[in-house]
Copies of this chain bind each other. A is one copy, B any other.
Amino acid sequence: MTKPPLHKAAQSVTAAQPGRGNAGRRKAGPAFLFDLDGTLVDSVYYHVLAWHEALDSGGIELALWRIHRSVGMSGGLFVSALLREIGLELSPERVTRLHQAHDDVYARLAPRVRVLPGAKELLSYLTSVGVRWAIATSGMRQSAQPVLNFLEISQHVPVITRDQVHRAKPDPDLFLAAAERLDVPILESVVVGDSIWDLLAARRARALGVGLLSGGFGQSELERAGAYRVYQDPADLLRHLDEVGVRTASTPTGGSLEP
């Protein structure tokens, strides 16, 4: 199979509209449910720093690698998991203040966040070949919107945020809701994420999980969390879409999860 043309795909992500609008188009493979932070934008390390500073200002000293390994969970689960690790219990008010402190620090760091290599090209390519895709993030809609704008993602793309579901990753709700919004069975969906929480949620949803190293987890960590394949970043996934069942123009039959 020929590789998708990376250089030719660098058109606007909004060039074609994914989602229900593509229902009449030939199905080119599974649907894709993308995590946002660390998967499409290079924001994980800045979230880690923001949590570190927030916890530190709240008198809680926690090593950065432990914070790194916990981000990607929902904010609520994240704080509980971290505090459990150091045997600390906080009042709901103090947890709220921690979240606020994180948001304040992150807002200061956000201008440094960049789109990950190949992210726009990947989304644009999927759209151009009629593959449906959606975003499913543990973040709130309010914090996700600037990132979506930054990625130039069309308003027609289904975006599921933390505030729209009962439970966040590693619970499967976000991905299940995203597949439902695309009107695609979860069994025909590929979840793409950078953290073990994405991959655990993918397994619980019975989707196929694909890991990206771009969030700073190690390859084995992602494989042990159930990744079917691990790629470096969105650009690397774009080069290997045939491995996850996307049929390009040269092989127009498709629809199965198997290459």
Contact = CB atoms under 8 A, between A and B. Distances in A.
B218 A63 contact: no
A112 B56 contact: yes
A82 to B, nearest CB: 14
A65 B221 contact: no
Q: Which of A65, A112, A117 has the most CB of B within 10 A?
A: A65
Nearest to A67: B45
A216 B42 contact: no
A117 B66 CA distance: 12
A215 B64 CA distance: 8
A116 B65 CA distance: 11
A68 interface: yes
Q: Which of A68, A112, A216 has the most CB of B within 10 A?
A: A216
Contacts of A218: 217-221
Contacts of A65: 42, 44-45, 213-216
Q: Which of A45, A56, A117, A219 has the most CB of B within 10 A?
A: A45
Contacts of A221: 218-220
A233 B63 contact: yes
A48 B44 CA distance: 12
Nearest to A86: B117
A216 B216 contact: yes
Q: Nearest 7 CB-CB pairs, A to B?
A: A218-B218, A220-B220, A65-B216, A45-B64, A218-B221, A42-B63, A65-B214
5 contacts: A52-B112, A63-B214, A218-B219, A219-B221, A220-B221
